[in-house]
Amino acid sequence: MRRKPHPTPTLTSVLPSFTGNVVDEFVQKGGEFSYKARTALYDVFSRIDKSIFGQRVLIPAFHCPTVVQPILKAGFEVEYYRIKKDLQIDFAELADKLNENVAAVVIINFFGFEQPLQALPTLCEANNTLLIEDCSHSVAAISPVRLSGGRGDISIYSFWKMLPSVQGGGWVARAPATLQKTEKKKPAQPLIQSLRLGKQIAEHIFDNMLLGLRCILGHYHYQDDVRVDFDAPVETSQEVTFYPVDELHYDFDIPWLSKYIIKNARFNSQVAGILKNYQDLSDDFSKVEAFHLPYADSELNVVPWAVPVILENRQQYDYKLLANDVSFFTFGEELHASLYDGKSASQAAVDDARYLSGSMICFSIHQNLNSIDIHHTKKVVNTLFSQKSSL
C-alpha cells in the first residue's frame, strides 16, 4: 500500500468549512483561479504587453517544463539563468542577462522555500521588468499561517499540490492594471471531464475512508520486511527525455468542484501535522550520509511541499523506495528541450540543472500521511542507506 505523493480528498474535503484558510487571502487579494498553475502562467503571460515590457523572459535553468511551455505559447522568447547545485540563484549570471528587453524574470520558490531575492526587485524595477514569483510548490507561509508569495509583481499558485482538489491553480497581481485584459473566452470544462473528475474525487474519498477505518481497527501497517535487494547496483544513464504537455490545459477553466474544495479545505488546521512530518523526516535524514538537505540550515518560514533531498545517482535508489511503498516524487527530472539548444543557457547552467535533475528526490509530508507512514519512510531509508537509527 502506498499513499499518494500529493494530498487526496477525504470526506471532510467535500463538506463546507466555516474556518478560514489561506485561500481566503488569495480571494481577498483579487486572485484569479485557473485550471492549473501552468494555465495561470499562460493567462498572466498572455496579458503582458510586449510593446511595453519586451519579448524575453528569464527562467531558472532548473525547472519543471510546465513553467516554460506556457510562456513560449504566449509568444515570448525564453532564456535561462543558472541555479547552482545548492538550488540558489547565480545572481551574477542573472544580472548579466537582465536588460530592458526582458519582460519578466520568473523565480521559483523551490519546494516552497522562499528563494532569496537580494537586489532582484530593484534591478527588475530599473529595467521595467516584471518579477514573477512562482509559489506553485507551497501555498502557505507560517507564523502566522498565511498565503505565500507577494514578493514580486505577480504570484503563481498550484493549489492541488497541497490542497486535496486534484486540480486548481491561480495567480495574484500586485498591480492588476499593468496587465492587459484578455477577451479570450475559455470553454467550460466539458461535461465528460467534469464527470471524470467527480469519479476520481469519489474514489479518493472512498480509499481514504478505508485507510482511516483500517487505522481505527489497528490494521493499517506496511509490510515488515524491506523487499528489495538494496545492495544490487544498477546501471543508470541520464537520458534527455521530454515532458508531455497537454495543450488542453491552457483552455480549461478551473472545475467548480476543485474550486469548492480549495475554498473549503481545512488546510490551516492541518499545517501543524505537515510541519511535524517535515521535522520528523528531516531530523532523521540529516543523519543519512548520502543525503544532502539543501534547506536544513534555513529558518523554516513556509509550509514546505516535501522534504527535498539531493541524492547523487538517484536512479540507483528511487525504484527501490517505490517498491517499498515510500511516498516520494521527483522534480525537474525532465527539463524543457530549449535548455539544450546551445544559445538559451550557459554551459554551467545546463550542467547544474542536469545535476539537480538527476539528484532531487522529494519525500512527501502532506496531511494524508500519518505517523505510521512517516515511520515507514524512515525505516526504508535507514535500511537502504545502512544507517543506525533509533527506530
Q: Quick one: angle between helices 271-285 and 371-384, nearest 10?
A: 20
Task: Tell whether residue 10 is a contact of ligand PLP (CB under 6 A).
Answer: no
Q: Which stretches within the chain are classed as H helix? A: 22-28, 37-46, 50-53, 65-73, 91-97, 120-126, 191-216, 256-264, 271-285, 318-323, 347-357, 371-384
Task: Tell whether residue 36 is a contact of ligand PLP (CB under 6 A).
Answer: yes
Task: Tell whether residue 108 is a contact of ligand PLP (CB under 6 A).
Answer: yes
Part of the chain binding ligand PLP (CB under 6 A), chosen from 36-44, 141-149, 239-247, 360-368: 36-44
For the record, the C-alpha cell of 192 comes out as 465528460
Shortest Cβ 59–ligand PLP spacing (Å):
10
Binding mask of the shown chain, residues 335 to 374, with x at each position contacting ligand PLP by CB under 6 A: ----------------------------------------
Task: Tell whether residue 197 is a contact of ligand PLP (CB under 6 A).
Answer: no
Shortest Cβ 169–ligand PLP spacing (Å):
5
Task: Tell whether residue 136 is a contact of ligand PLP (CB under 6 A).
Answer: yes
Residues 6+ away with beta carbon under 8 Å from 326: 2, 363, 376, 377, 380, 381
Beta-sheet pairing, 169-173 with 32-34: antiparallel
Q: Helix, strand or coil for residue 80?
A: strand
Task: Tell whether residue 6 is a contact of ligand PLP (CB under 6 A).
Answer: no
Strand partners, 105: 58, 131
Q: How far apart are CA 278 and CA 304, in angstroms?
A: 8
Task: Tell whether residue 165 is a contact of ligand PLP (CB under 6 A).
Answer: no
Size of interface with ligand PLP, in residues (CB under 6 A): 12
Closer to ligand PLP by CB, 67 or 102: give it: 67
Strand partners, 57: 78, 104
Shortest Cβ 177–ligand PLP spacing (Å):
25
Radius of gyration, alpha carbons of the chain: 21
In the set 43, 134, 318, 373, which binds ligand PLP (CB under 6 A)?
A: 134
Tell me the CA distances in angstroms from 302 to 111, 139, 144, 154, one per residue in order.
10, 9, 10, 18
Task: Tell whether residue 268 is a contact of ligand PLP (CB under 6 A).
Answer: no
Shortest Cβ 391–ligand PLP spacing (Å):
32
Closer to ligand PLP by CB, 162 or 380: give it: 162
In the set 38, 336, 354, 376, which binds ligand PLP (CB under 6 A)?
A: 38
Shortest Cβ 328–ligand PLP spacing (Å):
15
Shortest Cβ 133–ligand PLP spacing (Å):
10
Q: Helix, strand or coil for residue 137?
A: coil
Q: Which residues in 250-280 are b (16+ Cβ under 10 Å) and which e?
A: bebebbebbbbbbbbbbbbebbebbbebbeb
Task: Tell whether residue 66 is a contact of ligand PLP (CB under 6 A).
Answer: yes
Task: Tell whether residue 37 is a contact of ligand PLP (CB under 6 A).
Answer: yes
In the set 22, 44, 58, 64, which binds ligand PLP (CB under 6 A)?
A: 64
Shortest Cβ 355–ligand PLP spacing (Å):
18
Q: How far apart are CA 214 and CA 384, in angstroms?
A: 27
In the set 138, 155, 158, 324, which binds ligand PLP (CB under 6 A)?
A: 158
Q: How far apart are CA 337 and CA 335, in angstroms?
A: 6
Task: Tell whether residue 154 is a contact of ligand PLP (CB under 6 A).
Answer: no
Q: How far apart are CA 78 and CA 338, in angstroms?
A: 8
CA dihedral 43, 173, 79, 358 (to 10 degrees): -90
Part of the chain binding ligand PLP (CB under 6 A), chosen from 89-97, 131-139, 225-233, 267-275: 131-139
Q: Helix, strand or coil for residue 305?
A: coil
For ligand PLP, the binding residues (CB under 6 A) are: 36-38, 64, 66-67, 108, 134, 136-137, 158, 169
